Each structure stands twice: as C-alpha cells, then as structure tokens.
Structure 1
C-alpha cells in the first residue's frame, strides 16, 4: 500500500480512490499486525505491537483454555476495543475458521439473555464485572439461559468464588478463570480443554508454551507458599511473543524474565493463585493484604453488588483497609449495614484483613473494558490524608 497518510479522512470516501487489486506479500512471524495500548489500570497506557506469530498463541488459548469446538456457537462478550476482545473475540476464533458473535449495544441482563437464546450460544466468555451484573439479575437470568451454555470462561480480573459457585448451582455450568495481559495474551488458565486440578481462587496452570515463575524482590525464583511477582521465563516460553513497548524503555524485562507487575503465589501442585496488582497490595500492621480476597468476601453478602478495596494512609498501621461498596436497591446504606459487612468479612478472612472503613458509593471507577481502577480511589484517599495533615 501507500503507507500511513496523516490527516483526517473519511474511510468510505477514500476507499474508491484505491485499487482493489494488490499483490499478496508473504510476511515474517515478527511483522506487526495489531497496534495495542495497555489498559491503564495502574497508570498511563503504553503502545505495543503484536506480531503475526502471536496468532499461534491465540489459537492455543482458544483450543486449550476456551475449548472452542467446531460445533460451538461462541460469544466473547468483551468489547473489541479491549485486548481480550480483539485477541479472543475476533483474531483467535477467525484464525481457526470459527464464526464470531457481536452485539453492538450497552451490556444489560436482557440483551445478554436475548443474544444467548437467539443464537443458541454454547460457549461464552467475558469479564467478572459482566458476570456479577448478570448474577444481580438472579432468577430471571438463571431461568432464561439454564441448560443453554456448555462452558463459560472469565478474564480481565480474578473471578470471585461467589461467581463460580453461582454458575455451578444455578446454571449447572463450569466457569473457569483465565489470566493474561495485553502484553502476553492469556498465559495462566484453568483450561476447559485440558485435564488438571482446579481450586477455587487459583488462576490455574501455565498455558502450554509458557514457563511461569514467582520471583522475589531480587528476581530469584520462589518455592510454593511465598507471594512474589508473576514472571515469564522468556528463554523457555516459545509462545511468548511480547518484545517490548513501542518507543519506551521498560523495567519489565530483567535478564531472561518478563515481570508482570502482579503479585501471585505458587501452590504445591504447581498451580498459581492471584494476590493482586503489586500497586494494589495493602500493607497494614505489617501484614500484606490482597484487595481481591476482601472484595470477594464482600460480594458474598446478599446486599453487595460490587466492591473495591484499597489501602488508606494511616499513621499507626501504615495503611488501613478501606472498602468502597455498591449495594443492591433492596438495601439501605446505614452504619448498621456497614458493621454487618465488616463482621461478614472478618468471619471469612484473617482478623487483620477486614475493612475498617466502608464507604457506600453508587458506582466504581473502571476502564472502558470494565476493570476496576483502584488507583483512582487510592489516590483520592492519599489526597484526603495529605489535606488533613496540611
């Protein structure tokens, strides 16, 4: 082609000016085919190119983790503006010759049930945020689609145990948690298409073609039972395609490792459990608390639709655990409900992990793809603490 032309153009008006004939060019595995930006959950997003060889890894995920079969009617609910949507709602299935489903409209309980029923969807994938909103619809959702889905997958954030239980009890379907990044595709999964033990709360096992390790602060590999940074051993991960950000130096590469910035823990059987984004982990009275565990405990309470947990600066404890909670319409935001939620979490988690402060809010800050932006809430609390000192 003529290369990139700068300026404002109308695509359809420009199209007739170009010839419909072109000579196909054979491209190498390293040639870029997508230009992506990271999601910006913890700060400014960065640009990266996705090479053609990534399609092989995308297919591996569709086959092993999503267990996409020729007879499946597949729907990835994720927006194609999000990496998970473009990688695994468009590129992965199409590269396998599999038709894809798109719904252009706001995400609602009604529209989701309508599409699943209209197109006889059997294999569904999306984000925990989407599934929590569906569960809030309770019996209506269950009645409408029970028996329709063969399997369900989840990505974007860790999957709350409550969601896993609800899908099993009310829909009789297995929902599995999958972990990845814009930079990696999906690399740590409870695979629908492979046999392995599945523990509630575990992100699963490394996807074939990836060696995943847990590193300490000195970038040494840690044994089971010690939280550390999730890293990819690039020398032993032939499916890992990420080569760095476009035009930006990164601290993510240390020797042979790519550091994900996520805190995880290796389990004795080789599976890996998610603790949280390193930036999100709360240090309170000398303990490290992952916000996800506290959020999951809160979501188990019938009043709670969604929750976000952050560390609030505190002179005595370094940070105290603060929860921002969205409640369902049947409940009222009262001090009594806040106390009930505190006790509810305290009974389920260690005594130091329950939220000492609960703030009821109408919604939570999220990226366009529905991921929690805890850093916005955390920065709010830091600003308030600084203002109080001043």
Structure 2
C-alpha cells in the first residue's frame, strides 16, 4: 500500500530513547522537566481551580513514594488507584512509578463487582481511593466480594469513616522524600489496564516501559502536541485513551494540559476552551455530536475567541457530517484516529505538519510511523486494497509494537496471534484503499462502543443475572445518534415475575450500583426466549437486527 510520507518518518530516535535502563519512569514524566513550568490546570464541579507545576508534582510524589514504600510497595508490586481526575491521582501514579510499582487503574464509575475483580486478578495489595468511592470496597449490596482490608492496605483521600485506612494527605506529614528512584528497563511493567471482552472476565493488558515510545509518537505525529500548546484530552485516565494520552503522554512532553473533573456539558467545555486558551483538544465522537446538537444554544458567550488549533477524535468512528459541522463552526476539521487498549493508537489522520497529506475525511487515516498495519482474510492471508478483512499489525515491521500479552491469560493472548507471532489481530474489520487509508467496518465480536467506552456484554450480563427476577439475559449494542451505541438488554424473567417499567428500572439500578454507572442497560426489552444455536450459544447478531 502507498504511504510514502509515513515511511519517510524516522522513529529510530524514539526507539533509542526508550531502550533504557532508566532511573525511573518518573524521570521521563516529571523530574527532567522545568520545575517552574505549569504541568496542568485543574478544575472541578465545585468550582475549585488550581494550577500545579512540575516542581510541585516532584516534591509531593517523592514524599508519597516513601509512604507507599513503608507499606511494602516495591518494584513489580501492584497498586490499584480508584480516584477521580485530580492532583491526588497524578501524584499517586508518579509515586508508584518511582518505586518501580505497577499502576492498576480503576474507573470511578465502576461498582463493587468491577473493582473487586480487577484488584483480585492483578494481585494489588494497596488501594488508593477517596471518601466518595470508599464504600465500593465494601462489596455488593448482598455483602459479597468485599475487599479484605486485613490483606489489602487502603489509603483514602479525605477519610471520613472510622476504619483502619491511612488518610492520604495526613500520611505526608513527618515523611522524608524518597532518596532513590527504582531503576527500570524497557521490559518492566508499569501499568496493568483491564479491557472488556465479549466472553469471560476483563483482560489485563500488560503495559511495559517501552510503550512510552509509542505514546510519544502518537502525541507528536497523531496529535501534533507542540511546545506552547495547552492540551486537553477529555477522556478519563481510568481508560486507555485518557491514561496513555491524557496523562502519561502530556507528562512525557513536559507541556501544560487540562485536568477537568466535572460532568460533561457543552457550555462548560466552551468556557474551559476560553478560560485556559486551549489549543489542542481530543475527545470521543459523542462529545462532538453533543456540541453540534447544542451549539446554537450556548455560543452567545463568544465562541469566536477560541484559540483551538487541533481537533482529534478517537474511540469510535466519526461521522462525516460532524466533521463538516466542526469545519463550519469551529473553523477546523476533526481528525479521526484508531487504536485500542492493547496497543494504543496505530492508525491516524495525522496532524503533524510533515504528515498533513495523510488526512482523508471519512477514513481512520494511515498507519502511524513505527507501525505497519494490514488486512488479513479468514485464512490469515494479507489482502490487497478494497478487500474486507481484519486489521492486523505486522509485528516484524512495527518497531514501536509493545503488547506483552494479557496478564495471567495465555489463552486470550494466543487469540491475538492466531496465525503465528508475526501478526497481531485487533478484532476489528476494515479495508484500505490504494493510498493506504483505512475504513472502519465494525467489530468482528460483540464489544459495544458507547460514548467512547468499550463495553463487554459478559460483565453486564453477569450483573443483570444477579437480580432475583432474571432467568436469562443477552446484552447488545444498538445504534444511537449521540453515543454511537446504547447498551440494550434482552431479559427473560422467571415464571413468577411480570414485565413492567418499574422492574426494568430496578434492574438498571442494580447494574449501576453493582457494576458500573457507564455500563448499565439504557434499554431493557423483556422477551419470552433468547435466540440460540443448537449447542445453546446465544446468537447476539440476531438481537442486533
């Protein structure tokens, strides 16, 4: 395929830079930067505003690292973090990485079940949380799956309960800064991030230090984050796009970024653009669709004063009409990008000035420098232009490839390398044209993509099945103009229960409280039976219509 501009980009400096060993990951993310420079501007729903410098992050994380060290955290130890966006989250992960520890992100919308599985599977024996999320560690309403505080040490921000938790900020008192960071190599893990699966529990993606090379490549080539930019990635750092490119990536570059911890609204988004002179913005398509829907109602406060230079989208395909709207109302096109938890971003409409000719509206773009992507047919053979198949990464020709496999899950890892070690299979169907532009067709499994979140039906179905009225259930994604897809559950009730709106609401609330606020089924349809194969496997494709 033709992608001459991509091939001309030399990624060898990145490869060399991240060969290691390093005095620590934090040397790259914090310590080497100008201590006076603003790392991020913070704002929350209560109106609290504060800016933090790299020097402040260094001082606080050196202190907290010694706190964690006193609790037994050392190289390779897992530490789970259940915190909203903010200084405590960033200080915590920097402290973990100073010790060579492994960060296990926990999305704050998760309920007790989702949290318990990730903590148990990862082997984390320290959890950092806050008062608002602390009760989720106590287990489900039925009293099961509670975190054993006698085995797992818990640190809580703004502790307000009588328990054995260590209070976060109080722990900093009378503590000396960590004297030495832990040396790490490019193959050492620094993150285990769980991604949804269509069957079975979520899979732990092992992220090695060398992944930083690919993260920096995307920040520079895909997003074109430059010196002087004020960068805002709206994604939550409990997920790959927000963690890799909303927290780690900006820290790598040593620039200034936005940490906004409040519910989304179009009016507030525009205000943040204006208040902080945001120049480079990335978000899921649902954000742009919401902006388009509400634009005329909220732009009377001077949207023309925006300083935006770059708009990017990731998480699900971007509609062409949304791109047209952005060009008309924001004066900029939105560039669509493609990636996944297991590898980060690998196909982009690149913003970098040397790659401007790799932009084509309606496509996902071309392979990112450092990666060779292709399409495989059902036999595992590479096919030519305009032929449908599965997106695969040619690992032999992808020097920035870093995926180490799923944590303690060899079976699922093998599924990603079905045709040998050369090709990594993404699980997404696509085709490419004569110039190497890829066009998304869909998932070849049952993953649901809603508002930028990847949702596996298995966890949702498990949560629904725990409701006393439910006999069977199947969960699918259905199209939605704003969110891309909505989670819909088909539910078969037990004999003594009758379908009703009230029962549907009870089931929804049960999933919200026990699994996650972002995964609950927004639509419930009661049915007499589910379509199945002769062997009893649910045929979700028939339910999607």
Query: Shorter chain as normaliser: what TM range?
Result: 0.7 to 0.9
Q: In 1, Cα distance between the equivalents of 2:304 and 2:198?
A: 34
Within 5 Å, which residues of 2 pair with 1:361-376? none
Match of 1:145 in 2: 303
Q: In 1, Cα distance between the equivalents of 2:346 and 2:293?
A: 30
Within 5 Å, which residues of 2 pair with 1:59-138? 59-138=216-295
Number of positions where the alignment pairs a residue of Structure 1 with one of Structure 2: 318
Q: In 1, Cα distance between the equivalents of 2:357 and 2:199?
A: 32
Match of 1:38 in 2: 195
Q: In 2, Cα distance between the equivalents of 1:170 and 1:195?
A: 21
Q: In 1, Cα distance between the equivalents of 2:340 and 2:265?
A: 26
Name stretches of at least 5 consecutive residues in structure 1 with no aligned partner.
282-290, 300-304, 314-364
Match of 1:190 in 2: 349
TM-score (norm 2): 0.53
Aligned mate of 1:260, from 405, 426, 435: 426
Deviation at 1:22, TM superposition (A): 2.9
Secondary structure at the counterpart of residue 101 of structure 1: strand
Greater C-alpha Rg:
2
| Contact map agreement 1:227 1:264 (CA 8 A) in 2 | yes
Alignment RMSD: 3.5
| Contact map agreement 1:213 1:231 (CA 8 A) in 2 | yes
Q: Are the structure 2 counterparts of residues 378 and 165 from structure 1 closer, same or farther at C-alpha, using a change threshold of 3 Å?
A: farther
Name stretches of at least 5 consecutive residues in structure 2 with no aligned partner.
1-68, 78-124, 126-150, 156-165, 448-475, 491-510, 533-537, 539-545
Secondary structure at the counterpart of residue 226 of structure 1: coil
Secondary structure at the counterpart of residue 346 of structure 2: strand
List per-residue Cα deviations over 1:137-192 (Å, max 9, x = no partner): 12245554345211100011111111111101111112100101011110000001
Secondary structure at the counterpart of residue 232 of structure 2: strand
Match of 2:373 in 1: 212
Match of 2:138 in 1: none
| Contact map agreement 1:29 1:53 (CA 8 A) in 2 | yes
Q: In 1, Cα distance between the equivalents of 2:526 and 2:374?
A: 34
| Contact map agreement 2:335 2:349 (CA 8 A) in 1 | yes
Deviation at 1:20, TM superposition (A): 2.6
Deviation at 1:243, TM superposition (A): 1.3
Deviation at 1:7, TM superposition (A): 1.6
Within 5 Å, which residues of 2 pair with 1:168-247? 168-193=327-352, 194-247=355-408
Deviation at 1:115, TM superposition (A): 0.9
Which stretch shows the higher mean deviation, 258-267 or 4-13? 4-13
Deviation at 1:199, TM superposition (A): 2.5
Match of 2:13 in 1: none
Secondary structure at the counterpart of residue 279 of structure 1: coil
Deviation at 1:99, TM superposition (A): 1.7
| Contact map agreement 1:38 1:45 (CA 8 A) in 2 | yes
Deviation at 1:201, TM superposition (A): 1.7
Q: In 2, Cα distance between the equivalents of 1:258 and 1:163?
A: 32
Deviation at 1:113, TM superposition (A): 1.3
Deviation at 1:226, TM superposition (A): 1.0
Deviation at 1:129, TM superposition (A): 1.1
| Contact map agreement 1:82 1:369 (CA 8 A) in 2 | no
Q: In 2, Cα distance between the equivalents of 1:28 and 1:275?
A: 38
| Contact map agreement 2:208 2:404 (CA 8 A) in 1 | no
TM-score (norm 1): 0.72
Secondary structure at the counterpart of residue 402 of structure 2: coil
Q: In 2, Cα distance between the equivalents of 1:175 and 1:246?
A: 35
2:22 matches 1:22: no
